[in-house]
Amino acid sequence: MAGLRILLAAVLLLGSAGYGSPVAAAEQTLRIGGTGAALGGAQQLLDGLTKRRPELTGIVLPSVGTSGAIKAVVAGALDIGLTSRPLKAAERSLGLTARPYGTTALVFAVRRDNPRSTIRSTEIVDIYEERITAWGDGTPIRFILRPPSDGDTEILMRFLPRLTSAWQEAAEKRIAPVAYTDQEAAEMVETIPGSFGPNSLSLVLAERRPIKALALDGVAATVETIRNGTYDLTKTFHFITRPETGAAARAFLDFAASPEGRDILESVGIVPLREGK
């Protein structure tokens, strides 16, 4: 709910930023937000759309996560929500529509000054079980956690079931920092020497983060390896909308599905999907 309050406050603040009254701003400005890993790509799509359609204005708001995006769309605080999962039955019953639009890689990231370029699945488990405690140059490994309820955590546990108990134990003992948003996770990797943690290829590329995505089991995370399935630790983004989607939101969705929009998605590590796939 805190994230939703922030969104509502942001909508009101538009009125004091040269857009006229808050109500008018809400009507004229396309509001997009949700899971942090998708924000950079959405911003680039919005920039591409407004360059083509200068009469349209929009804003990509800070991360509120997948659940926050869905609540904000229902409340009318967002015109388009960005999620990393499809809608649940109860959410669909509210009249919402989910449009899958692209798949990105879930990666393990390190600082750019780390000499490592690849990691094995077994090493990931060993790191979180504290069997491996230092990098090859002797730098202590500082691993980063995401909350147990986070979508990335759920994907990781399905991919590496052995990781579950070590992750839970580290969280309970508070022996590692916990990043509550994708942006916070990236900032921790950037600033903590020897850091190691999960993030998304789309965020690393779209936000030009000074961190390095490690190849997994010898396979680098790229658009090509995501598309051909050789890099199989992935997640899919969805656009969430209400039935009464406005003209600006429809223009954004159409642009995202256009050849130009698909090129933008690929440039930030997102493999475009056709609606319904």
- CATH number for 139: 3.40.190.10
Average pLDDT, the chain: 90
Residues 127 and 223 in one domain: yes
Do 77 and 188 share a domain, yes or no? no
Assigned domain for 63 exists? yes
In terms of domains, do 67 and 97 share one? yes
Let me know if residue 205 belongs to a domain: yes
The reply to whether 249 falls in a domain is yes
Asked if residue 184 and residue 111 are part of one domain, the reply reads yes
Tell me, yes or no, whether 178 lies in a domain. yes
55 lies in the same domain as 145: no
- Tell me: pLDDT of 275 over 70: no
- The strand ranges marked E within the chain are 29-34, 57-60, 80-83, 97-111, 118-119, 142-143, 195-200, 211-213, 215-216, 234-241, 271-272
In a domain, 216, yes or no: yes
* 22 shares its domain with 88: yes
- Provide long-range contacts, Cβ within 8 A and 24+ apart, for 45-53: 45/252, 45/255, 45/256, 45/261, 45/264, 45/265, 46/252, 48/255, 48/260, 48/261, 48/264, 49/251, 49/252, 49/255, 49/261, 52/255, 52/260, 53/251
Rounded Cα gap, residues 26 and 4, in angstroms: 15
Q: What is the pLDDT of residues 36-47, one digit of tens each?
A: 999 999 999 999
Do residues 110 and 215 share a domain? yes
Residue 252 has pLDDT above 90, yes or no: yes
Q: Residue written as tokens 């204005």?
A: 57
Across the range 2-14, mean pLDDT stands at 45
Residues 6+ apart with CB under 8 A from 151: 35, 66, 84, 85, 235
Q: Cα(181)–Cα(171) distance, rounded to whole angstroms?
A: 16
- Look at residue 3 and tell me whether its pLDDT is greater than 70: no
Please report whether residue 118 resides in a domain.
Answer: yes
In a shared domain, residues 129 and 49: no
Q: Are residue 53 and residue 97 in the same domain, yes or no?
A: yes
Average pLDDT over residues 27-42: 92
Q: Are 215 and 241 part of one and the same domain? A: no
Q: What pLDDT band is residue 29 in, cutting at 50, 70 and 90? A: confident
- Cα–Cα distance measured from residue 16 to residue 235, given in angstroms and rounded to the nearest whole number: 37
0.85 cut: is pTM over it? yes
Domain count, the chain: 2
Whether 26 and 87 map to the same domain: the answer is yes
* Residues 160 and 212 grouped into a single domain: yes
Residue-range definition of the domain harbouring residue 80: 2-103+236-272
CA distance 139 to 142: 9
- Is 277 within a domain? no
| Res. 74 pLDDT band, cuts 50 70 90 | very high
pLDDT class of 28 with cuts at 50, 70, 90: low
